[in-house]
């Protein structure tokens, strides 16, 4: 599922939070862009190692950033990854879910690369 204009991100909520501060928006985008690639690598690593506790921690940490960046299509998925890894249930579904998160995040990172120029 893609959002308006086939974009994965929607910065409406972030703009509301910023109270008009482009610096705040720029910083939040920079943090997302810096932390997300490593988080995606760690999700792969932890699911392959069946390290459910570490996978849960990474998913839990990523969850709010999806809300800030308006990546609505991943909010449920990351919640399920968090729940399944915490409770060690449906773990066979996790690789496909993580693949979906990775694909959407990579597209979102490309979109944010363009968007961030508007808040400098």
**pTM for this predicted structure:** 0.90
Token pair recorded at residue 68: 């800030």
Q: Residue 36: helix, strand or coil by DSSP?
A: helix
pLDDT by residue (tens digit) across 70-109?
A: 999 999 999 999 999 999 999 999 999 999 999 999 999 9
Residue 17 Cα to chain centre, angstroms: 18
Q: What are the domain boundaries of the chain?
A: 7-119
User: Stretch 48-72: mean pLDDT, rounded?
Assistant: 96
Q: Which residues contact 89 (CB under 8 A, 6 or more apart)?
A: 83
Query: Given this model, what pLDDT does residue 3 score?
Result: 40
Going by pLDDT thresholds of 50, 70 and 90, the confidence category of residue 5 is: low
Query: Given this model, what pLDDT does residue 21 score?
Result: 94
Greatest Cα-to-Cα distance within the chain, rounded to the nearest angstrom? 44
Please give the CATH number for the structural domain made up of 7-119.
1.20.120.160
CA–CA gap between residue 2 and residue 107 (Å, rounded): 11
Query: Given this model, what pLDDT does residue 120 score?
Result: 74
């Amino acid at each position: 599922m893609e959002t308006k204009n086939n974009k994965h991100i929607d910065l409406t909520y972030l703009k509301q939070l910023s109270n008009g501060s482009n610096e705040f928006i720029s910083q939040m985008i920079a943090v997302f862009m810096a932390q997300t690639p490593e988080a995606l690598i760690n999700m792969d690593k932890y699911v392959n190692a069946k390290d459910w506790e570490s996978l849960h921690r990474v998913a839990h940490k990523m969850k709010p950033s999806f809300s800030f960046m308006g990546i609505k299509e991943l909010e449920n998925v990351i919640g399920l990854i968090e729940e399944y890894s915490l409770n060690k249930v449906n773990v066979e579904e996790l690789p496909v879910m993580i693949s979906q998160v990775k694909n959407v995040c990579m597209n979102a990172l490309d979109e944010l690369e363009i968007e961030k120029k508007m808040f400098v």
